[in-house]
Amino acid sequence: MEQSKRSMRAAFEYARSQAENYSKSFYLSSKILPKSKKWDTFALYSFCRYVDNIVDNPRGRTDEELLEEVLSVSQELRIAFRCGESEHPVIKPFVDVAVRRNMPLQYPLDLLDGVKMDLMKNRHETFADLYEFAYRVAGVVGLMMAHVLGFANREALIYAEKLGVAMQLTNILRDVQEDAKMNRIYLPLQEMKEFNVAEDDVIRGRFTDDLRLLMQFQVDRAHRYFEEAQPGVALLEQDSRFAISSAAKIYRGILRRIEDNGYNPFLGRVYVSQQKKMAILFSEVIRTRILQPVAEMIAAFFS
């Protein structure tokens, strides 16, 4: 029993190190969460990062070999959820969290399906096709995070999906240039045609007036998804709201940087400075964990 506890502690510690290594701002915001949610968030992050890296860091493997790797992870997940345990160093803490937080198996399986889509498709014909991809690689991450952070009712899951999709759409708009270098275009081909934007314009980095209008259309859509997701923050448990509200504000900061560049995606990758991220994070901690509860208490007193 003691050895099993030590093994689990080591697995969660490895998850923590992954979060610290890959995302400093995420790591810091997670550390402010209550203890149990903090460690569970590390485990979720580590699993999602591991899955993403199968494609993002192919290590000289062919697409067929990477697909086999994804299928192997999927099979281990199915068994682990059934048995309630795994000796896989990343899946081990994740399954522990998933079982305790009543997280459906379908969520991580959908994430793996999104990775498979990325291996097999480098174009998306319609926004519906793109939404399916965005849901699988990011919407389900929002759903899993909602289970970790806790929510008042299941309506929160609707908003969690929207926020995950909004973040993925932002990633796509931020990475147009980088993706084009790998012959990947995530902008819906149907909408590109409607705006008279050729695939060759994107691949060769030609910023035309038509592409500017297309990018503005895409940025406006991403903003709408963030707006539609906003009511879900209030449905999360009080001690977790700052994490999601700050993440949403940071990502919308990326959209605003794209706007500041005149919607030109070929001027280099835009980002929100670490200083700005920290300012957003701590302002949201104060707003959601101090000011908002006080305001609610005052309102309740006088009601």
Mean pLDDT, consecutive 10-residue stretches, the chain (303 aa), reads: 82 94 80 90 95 88 92 97 95 97 97 94 97 97 96 94 96 96 96 98 97 98 97 93 89 95 95 79 71 42 39
* 258 & 150 share domain: yes
* 257 & 127 share domain: yes
pLDDT at 28: 76
Looking at the DSSP assignment, which residues form a beta bridge with residue 151? Answer: 236
If you count DSSP H runs as helices and E runs as strands, how many of each does the chain have, helices first? 16, 0
Asked if residue 181 is part of any domain, the answer here is: yes
pLDDT at 66: 93
pLDDT at 272: 86
pLDDT at 290: 55
pLDDT at 30: 85
Distance (Å, rounded) from C-alpha 106 to C-alpha 109? 5
Cα-based distances in Å from 200 to 51, 109, 224, 237 = 31, 34, 28, 47
Sign (positive or negative) of CA dihedral 202, 206, 209, 212: positive
Q: Which of 46, 71, 101 is the last residue of a domain?
A: 101
pLDDT at 225: 98
pLDDT at 301: 34
* 161 & 278 share domain: yes
- The 10 Å Cβ neighbour count of residue 125 is 12
* 92 & 126 share domain: no
Q: Which of 101, 130, 147 is the last residue of a domain?
A: 101
For the chain, what is the domain count?
2
Q: Which domain holds residue 278?
A: 121-303
